[in-house]
Amino acid sequence: MTRREICRLAALAPLAAQSPKAMRIIDPHVHVWTQDPKYPWSQTSATPPMPEALPETLLGLMKANGVSHTVIIQVIYYRWDNSYARDSIRKHKGKFLGVCRVNPESPSAPDDLERHVKEDGFRGVRISPAAAAAGDWIKGPLMPPLWRRAEQLKTPMTVLTSASRLPDVAPLIERHPELDVVIDHMADCPIDQPALLKNLLDLARFPRVFVKISHTWSLSKQPYPYRDTHDQVHKLYDAFGPQRLMWGTDWPMVERHCGYARALAVARDEMKFLNQQDKSWILGQTIERVWKFSPA
């Protein structure tokens, strides 16, 4: 054993001595909503698939599963009205951070984002360009001002899109090298389409791009623990490294599949190629590179 290998093992020893439950686990992807008429649904959105997704319910699941903090992603059912996410974060101060939505087809989007950051306390913005022609705004003139403002505000850009749309996202990433960009749910890349996965792997050349390895339950053709998706995650691991990968439950959507606890267990227990240090990054440390929470 070389001196370098001995030093590396010594550095890993403290993490190796921890059990997965001892890690600071942070869930970077959940949604909340309520049936309270104070927070009306957008007229352009579908009815939520579940009656309510309350922060109090979420906090119970977090406590039961050793999850210390969570990032609330503005849910599509409210569209650009971020008030319920904002109020939930304020009510449970310290437990949640928030990612807002702004209308990407509105010239006011940069100013809307700045207001949500400075007045409402949001710590990220999410855009969702569709794969079809309806999402072509990602290539339009309104995007550079929004991305530039996000970069100036140091507000991470979270992108929900398909792998086929990523070549249109890449030029924006390249032009804003100081902006953290998070690709949601592995861009929902089908596990049997390596050509599409290449679009996601190609983004590894940008050092501030992160990927959520969530939605294994949605992409898989097998029951839990969705082993047919693990090879795809492994390829992302090889390209990005654990320091740029993060898990995520997508609660409450995941309740229709494996549930909150198993969504955590997929990354913590079932992906056998991950060592203890990898898990420490993917379950918590990577998330805190993007979203800074107060010390426990």
Task: Compute the residue count for the chain.
Answer: 296
Quick check: is 209 in a domain? yes
Given a contact cutoff of 8 angstroms between Cβ atoms, the answer to whether 260 and 271 are in contact is: no
Q: Does a structural domain hold residue 63?
A: yes
Residue 86 forms part of a structural domain: yes
Averaged confidence pLDDT in the chain:
92
pTM, two decimals, is 0.91
Domain assignment present for residue 267? The answer is: yes
Number of domains composing the chain = 1
DSSP assignment of 226-254 equals -GGGHHHHHHHHHHH-GGGEE----BTGG
- Whether residue 7 is contained in a domain is answered as no
> What residues pair up with 30 in beta bridges, in sequence order?
72, 251
What is the pLDDT at residue 50? 84
Whether the pLDDT of residue 156 is over 60: the answer is: yes
CA distances to 51, 146, 154 from 179, in Å: 36, 12, 7
User: Which domain range does residue 264 map to?
Assistant: 22-290
SS3 breakdown of the chain: % helix, strand, coil, rounded to 5? 50, 10, 40
For residue range 13-58, list pLDDT tens digits in order. 443 333 344 679 999 999 999 999 999 999 888 888 888 999 999 9
Distance CA 191, CA 172 (A): 26
Q: pLDDT tens digit string along 194-225?
A: 999 999 999 999 999 999 999 999 999 999 99
Query: Is residue 14 a part of any domain in this protein?
Result: no
pLDDT, residue 295, reads: 73
Is the pLDDT score of 1 beyond 80? no
Non-local (6+) Cβ contacts of 214 within 8 A are: 29, 184, 185, 186, 247, 248, 249, 250, 263
Q: How confident is the model at residue 296 (pLDDT cuts 50, 70, 90)?
A: low
Residue 211 lies in a domain: yes
% of residues, the chain, pLDDT over 90: 88
Answer yes or no: is 161 within a domain: yes
| CATH code for position 261 | 3.20.20.140
